[in-house]
Amino acid sequence: MHRFQTIAVHAGREDFGELCVHAPPLDLSTTYPIADLDVAGASFDALIGGKHDAANPIYARLHNPTVARTENAIAKLKGTDACVAFASGMAALTAVLLARRAHGGHVLVVRPLYGTSDHLLASGMCGLEAEFVAAEDIATKRRADTVLVVIETPANPTLDLVDIKTVIAAAGEVPVLVDSTFATPVLQTPAALGATYVLHSATKFLGGHGDVIAGVVCCDETHAGPLRTVRAATGGLLHPLAAYLLHRGLPTLKLRVEAAQANAQVLAQRLAGHPAVNKVFYPGLGTVRNAQLLGTQMCGPGTLMAFELAGGHAAAAKVMATVKVMTPAVSLGSIDTLIQHPSGLTHRMVDPAAKAAAGITDGLLRLSVGIEDVEDLWADLAQALG
């Protein structure tokens, strides 16, 4: 069994020798010629029914070889049977919710999580009743019609950690979805701990260069089939060019995460000592919920942090307006450092009481640390903090 970095470089390239290529081929076809009608019909049934591939791809909404190679590569990195790729992280979450809707109508959700995920679940637009609970209350809140438990760890934006093993035990037979975007496959392996679905906004670290929007769900083949059926019916497919860019980003994933994590550890320590900062939320400082899971569930503190400014909203707006090296923008996990205001941007649609309960204040900024020189990053932050 090869180690992570070797898999990251070589996964999804198994047919390159047969094709006599060295770089991943990019297939932009929207439709595929039909030589045999009976074979095509059987292929159509297989793909609509959730199979990974068939003798004839038929149509790009059903199957694309470039996307399939990327899915294969990510599944191998995650150690799962399958990976199903979507046009965005939200399309991926929506597909899971629609697939589970066939089994019941109730979902348990642990806050905080990404603001748009929170909004999608709270709105009920996928036909499911979302009940927001504390992780320790999952066992008592579980109902006969509960079809999914949703957690995000580390949580967006407070970096709180959720004990995956404990949640899975409390969920019983109910499948658990773990959004592991912040941790990346480098730092956390929820499937190995028993998670049914592992979701990544692949826009972030997996792509890693700010030039692709994508989402993936890693799971076993039994649960992957219904996701492919939903994807085919709703059209939430990943474009092959996006899949190509995503595949390109995988070989450097570990290198990028480790470099950015080293920067983040320095910045977190310095921010913690700055007089303009009330608190830094970072697993490596032990300042987040369940920080003791660092070193067991999660093998490194990661590249993201949040920090609360003493001056509230005005101070946060000033920092975002005056950084020069860092980019004031939403998203995360890119090679460059991004800083944003969760309360006013990514979590703007979250219920105000829920934001307050999670500690998402008007003075909170989220920092996604990149791979620039750490001294340049600190100089930029220091001048912005004033």
* 336: annotated active-site residue: no
Residue 159 lies in a domain: no
CA distances from 43 to 36, 223, 225 (A): 11, 20, 15
Between β-strands 215-219 and 277-281, what pairing exists: parallel, antiparallel or unpaired? unpaired
In this prediction the pTM is 0.97
| Residue 111 appears among annotated catalytic residues | no
Whole-number Å distance between alpha carbons of 287 and 159: 9
152 is a domain residue: no
Residue 211: inside a domain: no
Supply the CATH number for residue 260's domain.
3.90.1150.10
- Omega within 30 of 0 (cis) for the link into 342: no
Residue 190 in domain: no
Residue 75 resides in a domain:
no
Per-residue model confidence as pLDDT tens digits over 367-381? 999 999 999 999 999
Range of the domain at 327: 253-385
314-329 pLDDT, tens digit each? 999 999 999 999 999 9
Coil/strand/helix, residue 40: helix
Q: Per the domain annotation, does 123 fall within a domain?
A: no
Residue 141 a catalytic site member: no
Tokens of residue 278, six digits: 């009330």
Does residue 36 form part of some domain? Answer: no
Q: How many domains does the chain have?
A: 1
CA distances (Å), origin 271, targets 112, 282, 370 = 23, 11, 16
Spans of the chain, pLDDT less than 50: none
100 within domain boundaries: no
Annotated catalytic residue: which of 32, 69, 78, 114? 114
Closest CA to 217 of 255, 192, 181: 181
Which of 118, 179, 362, 380 is flagged as catalytic?
Answer: 179
Is residue 303 within 8 Å of 181, Cβ to Cβ?
Answer: no
Q: Which secondary-structure segment (H or E) carries 242?
A: helix 240-249
Catalytic site includes residue 376: no
What confidence score (pLDDT) does residue 1 get?
79
| Whole-number Å distance between alpha carbons of 268 and 284 | 8
- Catalytic, out of 76, 78, 100, 204: 204
**Residue tagged active-site, from 13, 51, 61, 101:** 61
